[in-house]
């Protein structure tokens, strides 16, 4: 049967001021101390840990000479770890880098995006050069269109002037037609009067013609 061990970490005094209110992994005591067999406790300094080496040796405990002293003793069918995760020293832990395949895929994607961006920039440069080359043609077309628009505006202004002249002539003809209408009415009245006078003088003329015929027979 395997004999499990207890890993007991002895911390320097500077760390106890920061972690004193923390509890151990099995919450035996609120001040990071626990009761072990044979009166072994979590020590607050390395010197105190070294001063208790005879007691530890008599209880089959071993102490290592690391900055954080570790006391190991066969104790129970399970292992208790008294080192809080908050107190781990991460300065010596190397960061875990992603696998090379992921980095290679990311690099390929980045390079493809960069190549696409360079292609788009080159296409924009070529299009700008094409526009610069075609700008004289566009300028000549714009000048021709402006000349055509000026000619059309001149023709339109001439047509407007002719329409104004025609309107003046029509107004004059309307005025003359009213004058001619009044003259025609006057002439028709004169002709009516003359016809009435002729109808009145017709019996007289017939009598005079009869008298003249009588004198001519005698």
Nearest Cα to Cα of residue 60 among 70, 48, 72: 72
Q: Is 128 a residue whose pLDDT tops 50?
A: yes
Query: b vs e for 91-107, b when ≥16 Cβ sit within 10 Å of the residue's Cβ?
Result: eeeeeeeeeeeeeeeee
Q: Is 77 a residue whose pLDDT tops 50?
A: no
Each residue's pLDDT tens digit, 36-73? 444 444 444 444 544 544 444 344 444 444 444 444 44
Nearest Cα to Cα of residue 89 among 6, 29, 23, 9: 9
Give the Cα separation of 136 and 13 in Å (integer): 85
Question: By the 8 A CB rule, do 43 and 12 touch?
Answer: no
3-state secondary structure of 71: strand
Cα separations (Å) of 168 from 160, 172, 175, 176? 12, 6, 11, 12
The pLDDT of residue 35 is 41
Each residue's pLDDT tens digit, 78-110? 444 444 444 455 555 566 666 788 888 899 999
Q: Is 211 a residue whose pLDDT tops 70?
A: yes
């Amino acid at each position: 049967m395997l004999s499990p061990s207890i890993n007991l970490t002895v911390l320097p005094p500077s760390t106890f001021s920061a972690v004193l209110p923390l509890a151990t992994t099995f919450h035996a005591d609120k001040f990071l101390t626990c009761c072990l067999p044979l009166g072994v406790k979590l020590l607050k300094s390395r010197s105190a840990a070294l001063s208790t080496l005879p007691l530890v040796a008599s209880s089959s405990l071993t102490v290592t000479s690391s900055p954080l002293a570790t006391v190991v003793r066969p104790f129970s069918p399970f292992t208790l770890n008294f080192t809080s995760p908050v107190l781990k020293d991460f300065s010596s832990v190397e960061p875990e880098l992603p696998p090379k395949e992921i980095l290679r895929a990311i690099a390929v994607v980045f390079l493809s995006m960069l190549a696409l961006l360079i292609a788009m920039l080159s296409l924009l440069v070529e299009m700008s050069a094409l526009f610069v080359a075609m700008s004289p043609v566009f300028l000549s077309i714009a000048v021709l269109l402006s000349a055509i628009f000026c000619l059309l505006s001149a023709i339109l202004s001439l047509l407007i002037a002719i329409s104004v002249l025609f309107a003046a002539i029509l107004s004059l003809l309307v005025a003359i037609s009213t004058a001619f209408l009044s003259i025609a009415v006057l002439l028709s009245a004169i002709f009516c009067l003359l016809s009435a006078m002729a109808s009145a003088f017709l019996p007289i003329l017939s009598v005079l013609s009869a008298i003249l015929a009588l004198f001519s027979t005698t």
